[in-house]
Amino acid sequence: MANGRKLFARSYTCKIALLSFDNGRDEKYIAAFLCLFFTQTTINKYLSYNGAMMDSLLLNIYWISLCFFAFIALFHYLLIKRTTLTPKQWAVVEYVWLILTFVSILGIIDDSRRIQAEIQLAQDLSTVKERQLRVFNWLDNYQEYTCSIGEKTKGCVVIKSIVTNVNLSLVDEFKYDPLPLNLFESLTTITPLISDKAQQVLTERTKQYNQAVSQYKHTFKASLRSYLRNLLAAFTPLIFCCALALKITKVSSEYIATP
């Protein structure tokens, strides 16, 4: 609520500042720029603490539609009714709407890349789980086999120790960390019981699992975005609406000027 009141206060202050500069267009531009800067700063702080509000407003089709028509009305009032722009100034408006369109395209591309990375992330995580399960299946099968001979036999003790160490290496929040191959070095001491070929199968499965984990972490980093990129993606619909509203205002001015 404090940020909301601050935003309202700054908006009201901006209105007073703009009304006080009726005699100088340059001063009014400076006041408008300062108002936009301070208001946008407050909005950024407010939205950073209210992610739910960002989702409900900037990603709401009805709210965006309302903003679009509000931009059209505002630009028609400021650029057509209240002031008379020269052809050169209208050319500047043309540049502005093109730049805003380009910025919104960047936001769309970045958001598409993030969505693609998240889809790939889900697939990579599924691969990691599948390959980890293959490692655990091998350990479970040979633990059952060695311990069926006797709980206190060397083979059973070694396998149980390996399973314990593997579980301890995965106690972090992310349960799919790489498994060092040296965890299974003690298997060589029970080679007559577990053949070299069977141990090679475990080594190969572990390597495949570690490769899947590495790929998952790479994809996870690609799916992350900085605060500025998140802000760009969030405001992309609003920026695009502003660009279209400027273009429509430009077309309206040409239509009005046509005899």
Task: State whether the Cα torsion 223-228-234-238 is positive or negative.
Answer: negative
Q: Fill in the amino acid letter for 175.
A: K
Give the model's confidence band at 168: pLDDT under 50 very low, under 70 low, under 90 confident, else very high.
confident
Give per-residue pLDDT as tens, 138-153.
Answer: 999 988 888 888 777 8
Give the model's confidence band at 12: pLDDT under 50 very low, under 70 low, under 90 confident, else very high.
very low
Average pLDDT over residues 177-184: 86
Give per-residue pLDDT as tens, 103-149.
Answer: 999 888 888 888 888 899 999 999 999 999 999 999 999 888 888 88
* pTM of this structure: 0.60
**DSSP alpha helix (H) spans, the chain:** 2-19, 25-48, 51-58, 61-76, 87-149, 154-168, 196-223, 227-257
- Return the closest-CA partner of residue 184 out of 172, 169, 174: 169
Give the model's confidence band at 246: pLDDT under 50 very low, under 70 low, under 90 confident, else very high.
very high
Q: Fill in the amino acid letter for 14.
A: C
Q: Fill in the amino acid letter for 137.
A: N
Contact yes or no for 213/102 (Cβ under 8 A): no
Q: Has residue 98 got a pLDDT over 90?
A: yes
Over the range 31-57, which residues count as b (16 or more CB within 10 Å of their CB) and which as e?
Answer: beeebeebbeebeeebbeeeeeebeeb
The predicted structure's pLDDT at residue 19: 45
Q: Return d(Cα 71, Cα 68) in angstroms, integer.
A: 5
The predicted structure's pLDDT at residue 60: 76
**Domain ranges for the chain:** 1-49, 119-223
Q: Has residue 76 got a pLDDT over 80?
A: yes
Give the model's confidence band at 92: pLDDT under 50 very low, under 70 low, under 90 confident, else very high.
very high
Q: Return d(Cα 117, Cα 178) in angstroms, integer.
A: 21
Give per-residue pLDDT as tens, 29-55.
Answer: 555 545 554 555 555 554 444 444 445
Q: Return d(Cα 35, Cα 11) in angstroms, integer.
A: 7
Contact yes or no for 35/18 (Cβ under 8 A): yes
The predicted structure's pLDDT at residue 165: 86
Task: State whether the Cα torsion 230-233-239-241 is positive or negative.
Answer: negative
Contact yes or no for 181/129 (Cβ under 8 A): no
